[in-house]
A and B are shown apart, each in its own frame.
Chain A
Amino acid sequence: MKKTSDNNRQSDPLPGGNDRPAEGTNAGSGTPRSTEGMRLVSYLIICLASAGLFISAGTIPTSRWEVLGAGAYPQLVFGGLAVMTFFTAVTSLRKFGLSMFPAIATDAVLWLRSRHLVIWMFILFGAYILTIPLTGFEIATFAFLMASQLLLAPWTPRSFALIVAIAVIFSFGLNYLFAEVFNVFLPRGRL
């Protein structure tokens, strides 16, 4: 929860209010119109995916022993989700109009730019989990910790020493702890 209390102090502290603080939300980036535009895209993606999975659930074979087959409940869920997101998308469109669409692309670029560290962290994280089966936990973790901390930390001799120490403790140290204390053997790697 990064937001300061001042915003919350002004709000009506009752459940169900629309101005309550939400845990870790960042909806405030971008103008309301363009943020709503990005949400609209998410509604449409979820709507289309649910509609596809609703149809796919219809092909799941039914059992002779029960009224509902294995596909009936997913149909209920995906059908409900498709209808719900469709109506939310329509409501959103009626509220903001088609004019929001040009803002979406601009806002998406701004949104991505403001989160360049997050994008880099996701790239490093993706590379980390992909290399674990190849190099093993220790080397992959050491490399991930070095790279990610160097990306985030201010470059000073003290922070560099800390980075190396943390990388060693959380890669080789953690592997040793799990193997010797918990009898959990982390991936060794194929290379």
Chain B
Amino acid sequence: MEGAFQSALAQIFQIDTLVFMATGSVAGIVAAAIPGFTVTMAIVLTLPLTFAMEPLQGIAVMLAVYVGGYTGGLISAALLGIPGTPSSVATTFDAFPMARAGQPGRALSLGIWASFFGTVISTVVLVFAAPPLAIFAVRLGPWEYFSLIIFALTIVASLVGHSIMRGLIAGMLGLAIATVGSDPMMGVPRFDFGIQMLAPGISFLIVLIGIFAISQLMSEVEDVEALKSGQKLAEHDIELHTWTVMRAVLMRPVNLIRSSMVGVLVGALPGAGGSIANLLAYDQAKRASKTPEKFGTGIDDGVVASEAGNSATAGGGLIPMIALGIPGSAVDAILLASLMVHGIAIGPRLIMDNPDLVYGMFIAMVVSSLMMLVICILSMRLFLRVTEIPKWLIVPAVIVCCVVGSFALNNRVSDLYLLGMIGLVGYVLRSLDYPLAPLVLGVILGPIAETNLRRALMTDPDWTMFLTRPISLLFLVSAVLSVAWVVWKYDRNKKLKERQV
């Protein structure tokens, strides 16, 4: 164990790894600072660049993008009132009024420090929570694993988007896409319809790039007016008041820890993520405050709650990924994909078979948050310039990066055709308000679900084993309850609205 930790430490603190991580951190901050460009998209674009790296180096770079991205969203949220990413929606509630009141530097600095402490707190929880959970998960059989995936998909579908039915349909579509190509147990060809490019199956990385990058980029050019006009974020110099603000953040330990724990818990829940955590942490801070009426007017507590909450989901999301091999969010799914590309078996044995990798991820999280802090403090004024890059310039350039990334995966031109088709389908689904995260998780979890279902029935053909094994039953009941809870909540909201009308 000690040897694995030292090996991880040595790998992370190599000069080239640190340089790549710093570049990743800058890329994450820059990408998330541009409204419309999400952390997910930044990670998707980073993925092909990590193929030539060592596994730990590659994942450390992606974690640096991840941590940087959660902070970058703060820039446009605070200065323009437009969340750079969905995870910084609640940041606009107080950081924007604060910036408008003549304190843009304080708003940014509060967010940066809260993000830093949020990430560190979530990493501490991750270090303590992941290993025991993995030890427990190793004892799970194929029955429990299949039921766990069903639970993960239903909870993703119920937490993301506006409609649980469309969420479930998107998740099922993902499972359906994963059935194309050879079956995972016997290699029997399925649904290739004699088309050669479908025979090896549809790579989930192509689905990721098509769904999250191409469809999002295309939706960015819908608004003709926004394309043709530019809007500056800050008209005057910004003073960050670094150390004063750090003390101000630390003087709010209850809010900081509570918001971070909300972020960790929401992040650890499959399907939830920064986009929910920031709102929930903000809501909790407001409820606990003695002056809730001041929330929304530009107070420190609001910014701290939102930014600590969304940044803490980074560590929280890694808990099910490391311990169970179940990605908690789309970003975690991409991290998982990068491990799979390097031939590393995912699942509860990850922590036992590759302890240096897992320790390396813990160290990389802390180093990334430190890097983000230093980079933001030193070069925030420079980052403000990137928010002025017009969409007409960046959208086509990023599309080219997506094409290069998709081709570099397997050196197959046919993957580009699949990318185009999936991008189009993704755009239509996005426009019709289907949540896309369940679809991508369905594509990743589909083969795991099928393998475990068939393995379970090969071990014992009795279907009732899924219901008679207590943990399996617990997951299945939880899946039903998660759907029932959303349906009940929907009905309640509907009745409330009717009463108000």
Q: Do A and B come from one complex?
A: yes
Chain A contacts to B: CB under 8 angstroms = 1-2, 4-5, 8-9, 13-27, 29, 35, 38-39, 42-43, 46, 50, 53, 56-57, 60-61, 63, 65-74, 77-78, 80-81, 84-85, 88, 91, 111, 114-115, 117-118, 121-122, 125-126, 128-130, 132-133, 137, 141, 144-145, 148-149, 152-154, 159, 162-163, 166, 170-171, 174, 178, 182-187
Interface, chain B (partner A; CB < 8 A) = 35-36, 38, 49, 52, 77, 81-86, 89-90, 92-93, 96, 158-163, 165-166, 168-169, 172-173, 175-176, 179, 183, 185-186, 188, 190-191, 214-216, 218-224, 226-228, 266, 272, 275-276, 279-280, 282-283, 296, 390-393, 395-397, 399-401, 403-404, 407-408, 411, 413, 416-417, 419-420, 423-424, 427-437, 446, 449-450, 453-454, 457-458, 461, 485-486, 489-490, 493
| Among all A-B residue pairs, the 3 with the closest Cβ atoms | A27-B433, A13-B279, A152-B392
If A115-B222, A184-B408 touch, whether A9 touches B93 (CB-CB below 8 Å) is: yes
What are 23 A-B contacts with C-beta separation under 8 Å?
A2-B35, A2-B223, A5-B93, A8-B90, A14-B280, A16-B485, A17-B493, A22-B162, A24-B38, A26-B433, A27-B162, A42-B434, A70-B188, A74-B190, A77-B179, A84-B168, A84-B169, A118-B218, A122-B427, A126-B420, A141-B400, A144-B399, A184-B408
Q: Which residue of A lies closest to B437 (CB)?
A: A23
A174–B288 alpha-carbon span in the complex (Å): 52
Q: In the complex, how many angstroms separate the beta carbon of A50 from the nearest chain B beta carbon?
A: 7
Cα–Cα distance between A39 and B403 once the two chains are bound (Å): 30
A5 CB contacts on chain B under 8 angstroms: 77, 81-83, 89, 92-93, 96
Contact with A50, one of B161, B162, B176 (Cβ below 8 angstroms): B176
CB-contact partner of B399 in A43, A66, A77, A125, under 8 A:
A125
- List, in ascending order, chain B residues with CB within 8 A of A125's CB: 214, 399, 420, 423
Count of CB-CB pairs between chains A and B under 8 Å: 261
Task: Report chain A residues within 8 Å CB of B49.
Answer: 182
Known: A128-B403, A129-B416, A153-B392. A22 touches B158 (CB 8 A): no
Are A66 and B458 closer than 8 Å at their CB atoms?
yes
Q: How far is the CB of A77 from chain B (nearest CB, A)?
A: 5
Contact A1 B86 (CB under 8 A): yes
CA distance A15 to B162 in the complex (A): 10
Once the chains bind, are A26 and B430 in contact (CB under 8 Å)?
Answer: yes
Closest chain B residue to A177, Cβ basis: B404
Q: Are A80 and B172 in contact (CB under 8 A)?
A: yes
Which residue of A is nearest B161, CB measured? A22
Q: Which of B393, B400, B458 contacts A153 (CB 8 A)?
A: B393
Instruction: Decide: B416 and A132 in contact? CB cutoff 8 A.
Output: yes
CA distance A35 to B435 in the complex (A): 16
Q: Tell me which of B168, B428, B433 contacts A25 (CB under 8 A).
A: B433
Q: Is there contact, CB below 8 Å, between B172 and A81?
A: yes
Contact residues in A for B396 (Cβ distance below 8 Å): 144-145, 148-149, 152, 166
Q: A81: which of B52, B176, B400, B404 is its contact (CB, 8 Å)?
A: B176
User: Contacting B186 at CB < 8 Å: which of A63, A114, A117, A141?
Assistant: A63
Nearest CB in chain A to that of B221: its residue: A117
In the complex, A119→B137 CA distance in Å?
A: 47
Cβ–Cβ contact B35 & A1, under 8 A? yes
B residues less than 8 Å from A91 (CB atoms): 165
Contact at B176–A53, with CB atoms within 8 Å?
yes
Q: What B residues does A20 contact at CB under 8 A? A: 162, 276, 279
Given contacts A46-B173, A144-B400, contact A2 B279 (CB under 8 A): no
Q: Is the CB of A114 within 8 A of B432?
A: no
Closest residue of chain B to A5, judged by CB? B92
User: Do the beta carbons of A8 and B431 come within 8 Å of each other?
Assistant: no
Nearest A residue (CB) for B216: A24
Cβ–Cβ contact B485 & A39, under 8 A: no
Residues in A whose Cβ lies below 8 Å from that of B272? 15
Find out whether the CB atom of A27 lies under 8 angstroms from the CB atom of B431. yes
Q: What is the bound-complex CA distance between A26 and B413, given in angstroms?
A: 31
Complex: A15 Cα to B486 Cα, angstroms? 9
Set B90, B169, B408: member contacting A46, Cβ < 8 A: B169
Contacts of A129 in B (CB 8 A): 403, 416-417, 419-420
Residue of A nearest to B494 (CB): A18
Give Cα distance in the complex from A166 to B394, angstroms.
Answer: 9
Q: Is the CB of A2 within 8 A of B457?
A: no
Contact A4 B432 (CB under 8 A): no
Q: Is there an interface contact between B397 and A166, defined as CB atoms closer than 8 Å?
A: yes
CA distance A35 to B166 in the complex (A): 14
B298 smallest CB distance to A (angstroms): 13
- Alpha-carbon separation in the docked complex, A136 to B138 (Å): 49
Note all chain B residues with C-beta closer than 8 A to A46.
Answer: 169, 173
Which residues of chain B have C-beta atoms less than 8 A from A166's C-beta?
393, 396-397
Name the distance in Å between A124's Cβ and chain B's nearest Cβ: 8
| CB pair B218 A121 closer than 8 Å | yes
Q: Which residue of B lies closest to A147 (CB)?
A: B396
Chain B: minimal CB distance from A127 (Å): 10
Bound: A128/B296 CA distance, A? 47
- Contact partner of A122 among B83, B93, B424, CB < 8 A? B424
When A22-B433, A84-B165 are in contact, do A118 and B454 touch as well, CB less than 8 Å?
no
Nearest CB of A to B38, in Å? 7
Q: A60 to B190, Cβ gap below 8 A?
A: yes
Residues of B within 8 A of A163 (CB): 393
Distance between Cα atoms of A113 and B172 in the complex (Å): 31
* A12-B239 Cα distance, complex, nearest whole Å: 34
Closest residue on chain A to residue B88 by CB atoms: A1
User: Contact check: which of B86, B93, B227 meets A152 at CB < 8 Å?
Assistant: B227
